[in-house]
Structure formats: structure tokens, C-alpha cells
């Protein structure tokens, strides 16, 4: 291969320095992310290699120097003996032989550090050679620069490595090298020799450009990401296969203490069930509202163990005449490694292999599955439970004075609210429930309030409350759009504010109906998209009754409207299949990304965003149509542009327009395919045109034009005289 000589001037040196810095960016994260240490040695090696390349040291000598460097470095790093006793030679040889055997056995893991370091040196050697090749021979570095950026951004996204500064450094080095290489390429192409003054002329704007762009980049306000973070989505695939190394967790988040923010859908299947009817699946409940989210009042460690086939120690509702119960059972097939049980309201028994045992988190009613003492994920279990059918009359009567008094302790716990809860929440709750007496009626009013008042279900444009803002308050009065967490939390808080005990329930919706199984039961598939939260209200003497305030969701809880039914205008039951379709994308988990939280800005943008959201298809379509039209019009400009031009110059009499008209003619001829080279004179070109069209018009026109620009004067009326020539020529360019 012919290699160019390295020019030993300052500019090339600077270029090498930046090349070195770019390569350095590849090594920087190693120390943090891998168990590589002594990066300095490797850096020194790169530096030496590039220096040898710059000085134009002959390959043989340079190679020797590098080999000595490698041997000495490996010696210093790994061998304690004195260098000149040469014992290291044997160590090296035996190590290398072993390592080679390991390589052939494809036993990569057991390679010795010595050998790994050696290989790394070889890799760096290759890299420095490549850098030299790119800089000096190819004079192109864009690919390497781009790869460096990709490398850094990927590391920044997926690992703890903070690439904020690295990006800036890379951009500076990359721009500098690109700029200088462009200069060299230009010199090479134009056959101009390199001169200090020329270099300076190039370098000053280059440096200015870099400084300004970097300065601007640093100083400019940085918008928060518009798209939700794709990383959890990407890593969730890894998680599903049990090898997830993603930094951020996905799935059933435990921490609900700060709710809000958008999230993205995730189709990972969590479990499938064979069930007799459709109902929600609970995982846990929370009782303490903090103003930002939910925590539990007690310790999660308070657990009550129970065994397989034991009665599950959860009392969802009491054996009361107000509830009709239908026994049902479902089989759950878990597809994740979660060690908790999903269960419906009214759970009675868990049936799985007998070596599993269970613990109930008393405070949250979350059921953990264990094998021996360690958490275990049960892949298949059968649940026995009672599906309740509540009597509305009983519910209405449940909130009598004496009932409340009896359950004072429980009611106190589930009417907890933060002290600084804005008063207007309570006011609103009172206003909504005005005129209703019983808790049940009030709860129904609260449940229906959201759909009546135009609250919007939205997963993306969901705010996070500011430090001094209440999560519920913000949703109820400010943003009025959100997903299940917003709706359910708001309902719980409103219910509590008027003294109705309620709690917040997390779990999954019934999932997607997948048909009838062989055994005749219905199969559902529940994905992360089906993660959900809703409300349970406590009625003394009855138990917990679920409510579903979230827009577009239905919990298919059955109420028995005996005598009281007239007073309630319940919405007609929706067909389950329809329901499925109408359902917006469901909440995925509790990992949410913060969005910019500047209220003023938000208020300004929300109408615009809403507009775009509503009409984006129209807008996109019209832009597309316009673009296509513009493109077509541009493509067929040969058909109409000449007419336009003749029309445009029809009424101009002034000679000043001659130049404009002539230059336009040149452009049209060029478009027609008759190109004029840079060094071609007009007269020469006119000859060419006239030969092409077998005319003499261009020559005559050009002779006039020459007078205008090279003689500097034109007889009056020249344009009027030559206009006909010009028009004829323009018309010839009509495609």
C-alpha cells in the first residue's frame, strides 16, 4: 500500500493530538465500567505509537520500540522479578502457551490477565495504525468520530458512565480533526501547497466555529427529553429472559412515593390465566398518602405465614347478607420471576406445589411466595376465591352512625391525609357529593366525577408535581389529564377528605381475552400494559368494595340493585369485547420519567400540543401532500418556468434587466442539460449552444452581453433589441 508521507508541521501535530484525544475517549470509561486498571500505561502506549507515526519513524524501528514497550509494561504490571534476570521470558512463554490453548478451547473466561493485557496492547496498536491511516492516507475521520459518539452515548444511556463532559470533549476533538482534514483534502484536490498563512486563515474560523458552537451548546437551555426514556423498554427484553443487566428496573415497582410523569407501553407478558370470569388482579394496597404518592404505614416486614391450601388470611369482605358470593377458581401461569402472587378480590386459597409456602404482608396485603426460606417464583398456581355481588341497599345502610363508631380504628387509618393537603380538594369532594347521604352514594359520585367533568386519560403528557405542589391537587385542578394513578389516587384522597375510608390498590386489569381453553375456561393474557391501580372503599359490616374512577376502565364489580336501583342512573353495562377495544393503553409500571415542569411554559404549549395531537394526521398528510406537490412542480419546472420567465421579462424595458435575464437563461440552459464548465467563456459556451440548437441566437445575444459586462457600457435599448433572441432561447429550454 502506498502511504503518504506524514508532514511534520504544526497543524498535523495538532491533528494527531486530537486524534489521540478521540482515542482516549474510548479508554476513559474502561476504568469505571470494567476491571481494567492502569489505563495510564495503555494511554502512554497510544501516545508513543502516534508519536512514532508522526515523526515518521521507520516501521521496523517503531515496531521494535512498541514491542519493547509492551514487554516492559507487562513486566511491570504482572511480574515482580527484576527485568534483567529474564525470568519473565519463561513466565510469558508459559502463560502465552496456556492462553493459546484456552483460546482454542474457547474458554475465554479463564484467560490470564497478562494475556488479556497483551491482546489489548495489540488492539491498541491496530487502533493507532487505523488512526494514522484515516488521518494521513484517507484524510477522513468522520466514521471514527461518529463511532466514538455512538460509543459514548450508548455507554451513557445503558451504564453508570456519565458522558456529559466526554461528549463535549469528543465533539471538540472531532470537529477539530474534521475541519483540519477538510483543509488538507482541499489543498490536495486543488493542488495548493501548504502555507502558514493559508493554515492560519483556515484555523482561525475553525477555532471560532468550534468555540462558538460548543459555547452555544453549553450555554443553551437543554430541553428535557421529549420522548420517554426507551431504555427500560429495551432492557425489559433482557429482564424477561432472566439476564437483564439494565440499570433501571421495570415491572412491578415497589416505590410509589412520587407519582407522576409519562411512561411508555410495554408488551411484556407477565402472566396468563385461565379464569371463569373477568376481574382485576390485585398485588398490594397502600394506605398512606404523602402528597406526592403512596407509602405504607407499617413495616413491610410484618408478615403472617400460611401454607399451601390454607385459608388466605385476608378478609376482603364479610360474610354478610348484603353480599352474594359465587365461588370461582382460576389458574395463573406466571411468566416472570416475580415472587409474589396476583390474586382477585375475595381470595380464599392458593393451591400450588406443596413445597411452596406463603407470607402475607399484613399492611399491604401483598402475598409472597417462598420455597423454604427464600423467595421463589411459582410458575403455576390455582386460586380459589369468592366473587362478591354487593347489595346496594346493604351498602347504603353500611355507613350508619353506629357502624362507623364500631370501626373507628380502621376508619382512622384509612382516612389519613397529609396535613398540608390543599383545602380545595375537600371543598371539591363536598361539592361533588352534595346531597348524597350514604358513603356508597358519595363514592359513586366521586367515581363518576372524572368522566363527567372531562378529565382526559393520557399516558404521555402527565406532569410531576413540583416540590410545593400536591399530586392530587395538580391533577384535579390543573392538568386534568393523567392515567390510573392520577384518577385512583384522587378518588381515594377525595373520599378520605370527606371521611370515607378508602385505600389505593395496585395490580393488573383482567388483560386480553385469548379465547376458551381446552378445559372450557376463559384465557387471558396480562402484560405490563395491564398494570393498573384503583380504589377500594371500606363499608363497615360489608368489607372492601372496589371502585374504578379511571376514564375508560371498568372493574365489572357487580352490584345488586334491589330496592334502591331507581335512585341510581347507572350507565348501561358495556359489552366486554367493546370495552376491550375502547380501552386506552394501560399503565405499565411505576417507573416514570420526569418531564419539564415549568408551569408557565406548559400552559403555553399545552393548547398547541393538544391541537397537534388532535390534528396531527391532518397536518402530516397536508405537509406530505404539499411536499409531494412542491417536488412535482420542481421536477417539471422545465415545463412552466420558461413561460413564467418570458412573462416576467415581457414588460421590462430597462437594460439593467439584461444581466438578470441572461443569467437566468444560463441557469435554464444548465437545467436543460447544457452545462457550462467553470473555465468556459461565454463565447465558447454560446458556440456550443448554437451548435446544439443549430441557431445563431445565443452567439448574438452573448456578443451583446459581453459588451455589457466586459466593456462596461451598453448601447441604449440593447435589451429591447435582444429580447426576442432571449425569448426564443428560453423557449428552447422548455422540456
Partner 1 sequence: MTHEHIHPMIDKILKNIEKVMIGKRSVAELSVIALLAEGHVLLEDVPGVGKTMMVRALAKSVGANFRRIQFTPDLLPSDVTGVSIFNPKEMEFEFRPGPIMGNIILADEINRTSPKTQSALLEGMEESSVTIDGVTHRLGKPFFVMATQNPIEYEGTYPLPEAQLDRFLLKMKMGYPDMADEIEVLNRAQKVRPIEELEPVIDLEELIELQTQIKEVHVDDTIKRYIVELASRTRTHASVYLGVSPRGSIALMKAAQSYAFMYGRDYVLPDDIQYLAPSVFAHRIILKSEAKFEGIRAEEIVDRVLSRVPVPVRRLVK
Interface residues toward partner 1, by CB under 8 A: 187, 190-193, 195, 198, 659, 663, 666, 677-684, 699, 706-712
| Nearer CB in complex with partner 1: 656/724 | 656
| Nearer CB in complex with partner 1: 37/680 | 680
How far apart (Å, rounded) are the C-alpha atoms in residues 525 and 447?
27
| Nearer CB in complex with partner 1: 148/702 | 702
Helix (H, G, I), strand (E, B) or coil at 531: strand
In this structure, the number of other CB atoms found within 10 A of the CB of residue 148 comes to 22
In what helix (H) or strand (E) does residue 286 lie, and over which residues does it extend? strand 281-286
How far apart (Å, rounded) are the C-alpha atoms in residues 186 and 44?
33
> Please, what is the minimum distance in Å from the beta carbon of residue 654 to partner 1?
15
Closest CA to 485 of 556, 553, 587, 342: 587
**Cβ–Cβ under 8 Å, residues 259 and 293:** yes
| Nearer CB in complex with partner 1: 203/214 | 203
> Please, what is the minimum distance in Å from the beta carbon of residue 699 to partner 1?
8
DSSP characters over 357-413? EEEEETTTTEEEEEETTEE---SEEEEEEEEEEEEHHHHHHHT-HHHHHHTHHHHHH
| Nearer CB in complex with partner 1: 594/699 | 699
**Cβ–Cβ under 8 Å, residues 594 and 226:** no
| Nearer CB in complex with partner 1: 547/685 | 685
- DSSP class of residue 336 equals S
> Please, what is the minimum distance in Å from the beta carbon of residue 710 to partner 1?
5
Q: Quote the Cα angle for 541-545-550, to 5°.
A: 160
> Please, what is the minimum distance in Å from the beta carbon of residue 195 to partner 1?
7
- DSSP class of residue 257 equals S
> Please, what is the minimum distance in Å from the beta carbon of residue 704 to partner 1?
13
> Please, what is the minimum distance in Å from the beta carbon of residue 122 to partner 1?
37
**Cβ–Cβ under 8 Å, residues 475 and 490:** yes
**Cβ–Cβ under 8 Å, residues 274 and 259:** no
Closest CA to 419 of 293, 292, 290, 295: 290
Q: Quote the Cα angle for 300-303-306, to 5°.
A: 150
> Please, what is the minimum distance in Å from the beta carbon of residue 116 to partner 1?
47
| Nearer CB in complex with partner 1: 564/714 | 714
| Nearer CB in complex with partner 1: 91/666 | 666
> Please, what is the minimum distance in Å from the beta carbon of residue 201 to partner 1?
12
| Nearer CB in complex with partner 1: 417/666 | 666
Closest CA to 17 of 174, 207, 152, 133: 174
> Please, what is the minimum distance in Å from the beta carbon of residue 678 to partner 1?
4
Q: Quote the Cα angle for 183-188-189, to 5°.
A: 100
> Please, what is the minimum distance in Å from the beta carbon of residue 684 to partner 1?
7
| Nearer CB in complex with partner 1: 401/678 | 678
How far apart (Å, rounded) are the C-alpha atoms in residues 416 and 420?
12
Measure Cα distances from 575 to 52, 279, 523, 582, 583 in Å: 78, 14, 17, 11, 12
> Please, what is the minimum distance in Å from the beta carbon of residue 680 to partner 1?
6
| Nearer CB in complex with partner 1: 137/680 | 680
Helix (H, G, I), strand (E, B) or coil at 414: coil
Closest CA to 533 of 325, 218, 221, 289: 289
Amino acid at each position: 500500500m502506498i502511504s503518504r508521507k506524514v508532514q511534520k508541521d504544526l497543524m498535523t501535530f495538532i491533528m494527531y493530538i486530537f486524534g489521540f484525544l478521540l482515542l482516549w475517549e474510548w479508554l476513559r470509561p474502561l476504568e469505571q465500567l470494567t476491571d481494567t486498571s492502569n489505563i495510564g500505561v495503555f494511554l502512554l502506549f497510544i501516545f508513543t505509537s502516534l508519536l512514532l507515526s508522526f515523526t515518521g519513524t521507520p516501521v521496523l524501528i517503531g515496531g521494535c520500540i512498541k514491542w519493547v514497550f509492551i514487554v516492559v509494561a507487562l513486566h511491570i504490571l504482572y511480574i515482580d522479578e527484576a527485568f534483567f534476570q529474564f525470568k519473565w521470558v519463561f513466565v510469558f512463554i508459559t502463560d502465552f502457551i496456556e492462553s493459546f490453548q484456552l483460546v482454542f478451547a474457547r474458554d475465554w473466561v479463564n484467560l490470564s490477565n497478562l494475556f488479556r493485557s497483551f491482546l489489548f496492547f495489540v488492539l491498541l496498536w491496530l487502533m493507532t495504525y487505523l488512526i494514522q491511516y484515516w488521518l494521513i492516507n484517507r484524510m477522513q475521520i468522520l466514521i471514527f468520530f461518529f463511532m466514538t459518539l455512538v460509543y459514548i452515548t450508548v455507554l451513557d444511556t445503558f451504564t453508570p458512565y456519565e458522558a456529559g463532559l466526554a461528549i463535549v470533549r469528543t465533539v471538540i476533538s472531532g470537529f477539530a480533526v474534521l475541519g483540519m482534514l477538510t483543509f488538507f483534502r482541499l489543498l490536495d484536490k486543488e493542488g495548493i501547497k501548504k502555507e502558514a498563512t493559508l493554515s492560519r486563515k483556515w484555523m482561525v474560523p475553525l477555532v471560532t466555529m468550534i468555540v462558538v458552537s460548543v459555547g452555544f451548546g453549553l450555554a443553551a437551555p437543554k430541553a428535557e427529553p421529549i420522548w420517554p426514556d426507551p431504555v427500560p423498554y429495551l432492557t425489559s427484553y433482557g429482564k424477561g429472559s432472566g439476564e437483564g443487566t439494565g440499570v433501571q428496573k421495570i415491572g412491578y415497582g415497589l416505590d410509589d412515593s412520587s407519582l407522576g410523569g409519562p411512561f411508555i407501553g410495554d408488551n411484556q407478558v407477565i402472566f396468563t390465566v385461565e379464569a371463569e370470569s373477568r376481574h382485576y388482579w390485585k398485588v398490594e394496597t397502600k394506605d398512606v398518602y404523602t402528597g406526592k404518592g403512596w407509602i405504607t404505614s407499617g413495616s413491610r416486614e410484618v408478615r403472617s405465614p400460611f401454607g399451601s391450601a390454607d385459608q388466605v388470611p385476608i378478609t376482603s369482605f364479610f360474610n354478610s347478607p348484603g353480599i352474594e358470593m359465587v365461588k370461582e377458581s382460576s389458574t395463573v401461569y406466571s411468566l416472570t420471576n416475580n415472587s409474589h402472587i396476583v390474586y382477585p378480590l375475595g381470595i380464599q386459597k392458593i393451591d400450588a406445589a406443596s413445597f411452596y409456602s406463603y407470607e402475607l404482608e399484613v399492611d399491604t396485603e401483598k402475598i409472597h411466595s417462598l420455597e423454604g426460606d427464600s423467595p421463589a417464583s411459582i410458575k403455576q398456581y390455582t386460586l380459589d376465591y369468592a366473587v362478591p355481588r354487593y347489595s346496594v341497599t346493604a351498602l347504603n345502610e353500611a355507613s350508619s352512625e353506629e357502624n362507623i363508631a364500631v370501626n373507628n380504628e380502621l376508619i382512622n387509618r384509612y382516612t389519613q391525609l397529609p396535613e398540608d393537603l390543599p383545602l380545595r380538594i375537600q371543598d371539591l369532594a363536598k361539592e361533588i357529593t352534595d346531597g348524597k347521604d350514604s358513603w356508597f352514594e358519595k363514592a359513586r359520585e366521586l367515581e363518576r366525577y372524572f368522566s363527567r367533568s372531562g378529565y382526559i386519560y393520557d399516558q404521555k403528557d402527565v406532569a410531576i408535581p413540583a416540590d410545593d405542589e400536591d399530586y392530587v391537587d395538580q391533577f384535579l385542578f390543573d392538568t386534568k389529564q393523567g392515567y390510573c394513578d392520577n384518577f385512583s389516587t384522587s378518588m381515594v384522597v377525595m373520599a378520605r377528605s370527606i371521611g370515607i375510608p378508602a385505600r389505593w390498590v395496585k395490580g393488573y386489569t383482567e388483560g386480553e381475552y385469548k379465547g376458551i381453553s381446552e378445559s372450557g375456561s376463559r384465557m387471558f393474557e396480562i402484560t405490563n400494559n395491564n398494570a393498573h391501580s384503583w380504589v377500594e372503599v371500606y363499608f363497615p359490616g360489608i368489607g372492601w368494595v372496589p371502585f374504578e374512577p379511571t376514564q375508560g376502565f371498568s372493574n365489572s364489580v357487580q352490584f345488586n340493585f334491589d330496592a334502591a336501583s331507581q335512585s341510581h342512573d347507572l350507565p348501561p353495562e358495556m359489552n366486554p369485547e367493546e370495552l376491550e377495544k375502547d380501552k386506552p393503553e394501560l399503565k405499565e409500571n411505576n417507573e416514570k420519567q420526569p418531564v419539564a415542569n415549568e408551569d408557565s411554559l406548559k400552559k403555553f404549549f399545552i393548547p398547541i400540543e393538544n391541537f397537534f395531537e388532535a390534528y396531527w394526521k391532518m397536518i402530516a398528510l397536508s405537509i406530505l401532500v404539499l411536499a409531494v406537490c412542491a417536488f412535482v412542480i420542481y421536477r417539471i419546472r422545465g415545463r412552466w418556468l420558461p413561460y413564467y420567465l418570458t412573462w416576467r421579462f415581457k414588460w421590462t424595458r430597462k437594460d439593467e434587466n439584461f444581466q438578470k435575464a441572461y443569467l437566468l437563461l444560463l441557469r435554464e440552459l444548465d437545467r436543460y442539460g447544457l452545462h457550462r464548465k467553470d473555465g468556459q467563456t461565454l463565447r465558447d459556451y454560446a458556440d456550443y449552444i448554437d451548435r446544439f440548437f443549430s441557431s445563431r441566437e445565443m452567439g448574438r445575444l452573448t456578443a451583446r452581453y459581453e459588451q455589457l459586462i466586459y466593456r462596461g457600457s451598453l448601447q441604449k435599448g440593447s435589451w429591447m433589441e435582444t429580447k426576442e433572441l432571449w425569448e426564443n432561447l428560453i423557449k428552447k429550454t422548455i422540456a
